Amino acid sequence: MMFETATATLDWLGVIVFTVAGALVASRKEMDFVGFAVLGTVTGVGGGTLRDLLLGLPVFWTQRPAYLLACLVVSLAVFFVAHIPQSRYRYLVRLDALGLALFAVAGAEKALEAGASALVAVVMGVVTATFGGLLRDLLGGDSPKILSREIYASAAGVGAATFVFLTLLEAPRELALGVGFLFALLLRGASLRFEWTLPRYRPRPGVPYN
């Protein structure tokens, strides 16, 4: 019971947070309301949709249309209030980090529940956390953040792996979810704050693009 609530809460928060992030991108591109609804909904439910398809589960929002309704209402709200914050971009980046951390653990948990192995569960956490934003980037014509040099997919991976590891150690579900979520959020936040990056591949000197 408690368990159900924890999962559903994470999913709901993640969907709403990512819908706002998607709609903020629509506001930066000065789209009409339909553009807000499309980008908001795709960003909000995209990751969970791919996760469910890959796991062979019913797609979550086809069973519970309230998710879709929430995406539409939230997108409409953003259409009218997006001009209020001083910096939409700062909100966008922070909401994206929050959604990333929420979906990393929610995705890994749903995979474990469906009987997936530990590695598949971690990958599903990363897929759930990053695919909505990837669709948003592709549709909005931005370069995919998942392939940028920022700590992004890796933060989702660390959060999901922490959750899966603690679950294998039979930690209480809420503890595992909470610690995994915090790890992902802190890692993503710190990488934004201190501009951490991973070492990039370096070709041989003098043989750059062969």
Query: What are the Cα distances from residue 128, in Å, to 99, 101, 123, 199?
Result: 10, 10, 9, 25
Q: Which of 184, 178, 104 is nearest to 151 (CA)?
A: 184
Q: Which of 128, 160, 5 is nearest to 55 (CA)?
A: 128
192 makes contact with its own copies (CB under 8 A): no
- 2 vs 86, beta carbon nearer its own copies: 86
Residue type present at position 186: L
Q: Which of 1, 169, 193, 201 binds its own copies (CB under 8 A)?
A: 201
32 makes contact with its own copies (CB under 8 A): yes
- 61 vs 181, beta carbon nearer its own copies: 61
168 makes contact with its own copies (CB under 8 A): no
Q: Which two tokens stand for residue 209?
A: 């693009």
Identify whether the C-beta of residue 36 lies closer than 8 Å to the C-beta of residue 79: yes
95 makes contact with its own copies (CB under 8 A): no
Identify whether the C-beta of residue 23 lies closer than 8 Å to the C-beta of residue 74: yes
138 makes contact with its own copies (CB under 8 A): yes
5 makes contact with its own copies (CB under 8 A): no
Q: Which of 2, 4, 87, 193 binds its own copies (CB under 8 A)?
A: 87
88 makes contact with its own copies (CB under 8 A): yes
Q: Which of 179, 180, 177, 181 is nearest to 7 (CA)?
A: 177
Q: Residues in the site for its own copies, rule: CB under 8 A?
A: 26-36, 38-39, 49, 53-56, 58-59, 61-62, 65, 68-69, 79, 82-83, 86-89, 116-120, 123, 138-141, 143-144, 146-147, 149, 152-154, 157, 197-204, 207, 209-210
